[in-house]
Amino acid sequence: MLHPSSELPAADLLPVVRQRPVPQALIETLQARFGARCSTAQAVREQHGSDESAFTVPPPAAVVFAQSSAEVAEVVDLCSQHEVPLIPYGAGSSLEGHLLAVQGGISLDLSRMDQVLSIDAEDLTVTVQPGITRKRLNDELKSTGLFFPIDPGADASIGGMCATRASGTNAVRYGTMRENVLALEVVTADGKIIRTGTRARKSSAGYDLTRLMVGSEGTLGVITEITLRLYPLPEAVSAAVCSFPSIEAAVRTVIQIIQLGVPIARVELIDANTVRMVNAHSKLGLREEPMLLMEFHGSPAGVKEQAETVQEIAAEFGGQAFEWASTPEERTRLWTARHNAYFAAIQSRPGCRVISTDTCVPISRLADCLLDSVAEVDASGLPYFLVGHVGDGNFHFGYLIDPDSAEERTRAEALNHQLVRRALQLDGTCSGEHGVGLHKMGFLVEEAGAGAVELMRTVKRALDPKNILNPGKIFEL
């Protein structure tokens, strides 16, 4: 039985703010060293003290714009000497409060460290600085015939994507940041620069420090260089869409696709309610039913075969209005509903704010999880949209709340809490791709258990004994 919303702990709604002192001597040293690249201007601090989450927290005391790994090491060393918190900052697109200065301190902006350091096309690897965004990285790769597939939607920085273990629509085929980071350079809490991993595709040489850093949300080290796996741009790409009589029919189609080994590159679900919003927004006449939007990568014959196989499977589960296309224009047209879902939703309630959920469950549990949760949101009366990276079992409700209504905010958080509880009961996770940050700290304990979280704390205490690296995130120490 799920807890009713009245039992929700207030801690899930408000971050614990416990400002630690930032000595003026540190600010002065940073200003002397970095000049205009150390800013205490209110606007700059406020920009760096907020993110896409719904929390409001006082901004950091200063923002330093680093230009090299050595500079990062210097700043970390100074913060260590003064025991002052330091929060790495990339593109500011975090959704879970990762960037907020809940214990005060310094924001370390890495966006100027945005260079591609080397492209090794034969090895399908690239080494970059953390501040480069994924779109610019792919622009720089254009002439190579290769691409970096991880696409979380936002034009996040690669460093931030490492820090949150990001993924997105392509993960069903290409994996997440977990699978696609080969090596890192990291500044540790004592200001030392270390390297983890090599450019070899695999290794059994010692502890997997790369994967320990990926997803650690800036709490174990500052990532200053990243080597990524690349993939050849597919020779052919095709897209398909199909409508289904129920969410369950759509999910069963996806299970069958994956069990048959169809190497589908993307498979996204949007629910009938969201299709309705898209129809209203974009003046389309799509069937107002759950819809799958798919993409196939391969040879021309291969993508045709994939689409044909999928069409047959979809028909078995009552799929209707199957369309597929291989020209770029037609593919874009087919995917209109997915591309426009977010904007259609927010325009359906002008001035609203989106609270996004991020649970992920084993795919066999997905239909159950979605059906119960959709019923719950419908009963709540809150407007919402629903999109899912359904091949991975990851989906996002976007609750559309009035930003001035504490009641709606509470209602949305209560729905999210019930959803997370349900996902955990179904062997799932509270965060498929957004990370824990401030928002999921309570859920992490429910998910992983006190013993596993205590082990995480033990690692944190050992690697950052002064608790200066993005403190107060993931778990309380």
Q: Which of residues 188-207 bind a copy of itself (CB under 8 A)?
A: 188, 192-196, 198-207
Task: Determine which residue in the list 53, 94, 167, 357 makes contact with a copy of itself, applying CB under 8 A.
Answer: 167
Using alpha carbons, select from 160, 184, 171, 131 the residue that is nearest to residue 265.
171
Question: Can you give the length of the chain in residues?
Answer: 477
> Per CB under 8 A, does 160 bind a copy of itself?
no
Q: How many helices (H) and strands (E) does the chain have?
A: 17, 18
Give least dist CB 278 to a copy of itself, A. Answer: 26
Within 243-262, the residues that bind a copy of itself by CB under 8 A are 255, 258-261
Residues near 218 by beta carbon (within 8 Å), at least 6 away in sequence: 87, 88, 98, 163, 469, 470, 473
For the sheet with 125-128, list strands across it. 116-120, 125-128, 222-229, 181-187, 193-196
Give least dist CB 448 to a copy of itself, A. Answer: 6
> Per CB under 8 A, does 436 bind a copy of itself?
yes
Give least dist CB 344 to a copy of itself, A. Answer: 26
> Per CB under 8 A, does 427 bind a copy of itself?
yes
End-to-end CA distance of the chain: 30
> Per CB under 8 A, does 371 bind a copy of itself?
no
Using CA atoms of 54, 15, 18, 429 in order, give the dihedral in degrees to the nearest 10.
-120
Contact between 236 and 298 (Cβ < 8 Å)? yes
Residue written as token pair 């201007």: 41
> Per CB under 8 A, does 361 bind a copy of itself?
yes
Task: Determine which residue in the list 243, 269, 433, 442 makes contact with a copy of itself, applying CB under 8 A.
Answer: 433
- Choose between 297 and 411: whose C-beta lies nearer to a copy of itself: 297
> Per CB under 8 A, does 16 bind a copy of itself?
no
Using CA atoms of 451, 452, 457, 460 in order, give the dihedral in degrees to the nearest 10.
150
Contact between 128 and 115 (Cβ < 8 Å)? yes
> Per CB under 8 A, does 356 bind a copy of itself?
no
- Choose between 95 and 291: whose C-beta lies nearer to a copy of itself: 95
Question: Can you tell me the distance from the alpha carbon of 81 to that of 409, in angstroms, rounded to the nearest whole number?
Answer: 40
Task: Determine which residue in the list 335, 390, 447, 470 makes contact with a copy of itself, applying CB under 8 A.
Answer: 447
- Compute CA 369 distance to the chain's CA centroid, rounded to the nearest angstrom: 21
Within 119-148, the residues that bind a copy of itself by CB under 8 A are 120-125, 145
> Per CB under 8 A, does 53 bind a copy of itself?
no
Task: Determine which residue in the list 68, 115, 299, 405 makes contact with a copy of itself, applying CB under 8 A.
Answer: 299
Give least dist CB 330 to a copy of itself, A. Answer: 22
Give least dist CB 363 to a copy of itself, A. Answer: 6
Bridge partners, 184 (sequence order): 196, 226
Question: Can you tell me the distance from the alpha carbon of 172 to that of 167, in angstroms, rounded to the nearest whole number?
Answer: 9
Question: Can you tell me the distance from the alpha carbon of 41 to that of 337, in angstroms, rounded to the nearest whole number?
Answer: 42
Give the interface segment with a copy of itself, choosing from 19-27, 101-109, 163-171, 339-347 (CB under 8 A): 163-171
> Per CB under 8 A, does 422 bind a copy of itself?
no
- Choose between 206 and 381: whose C-beta lies nearer to a copy of itself: 206
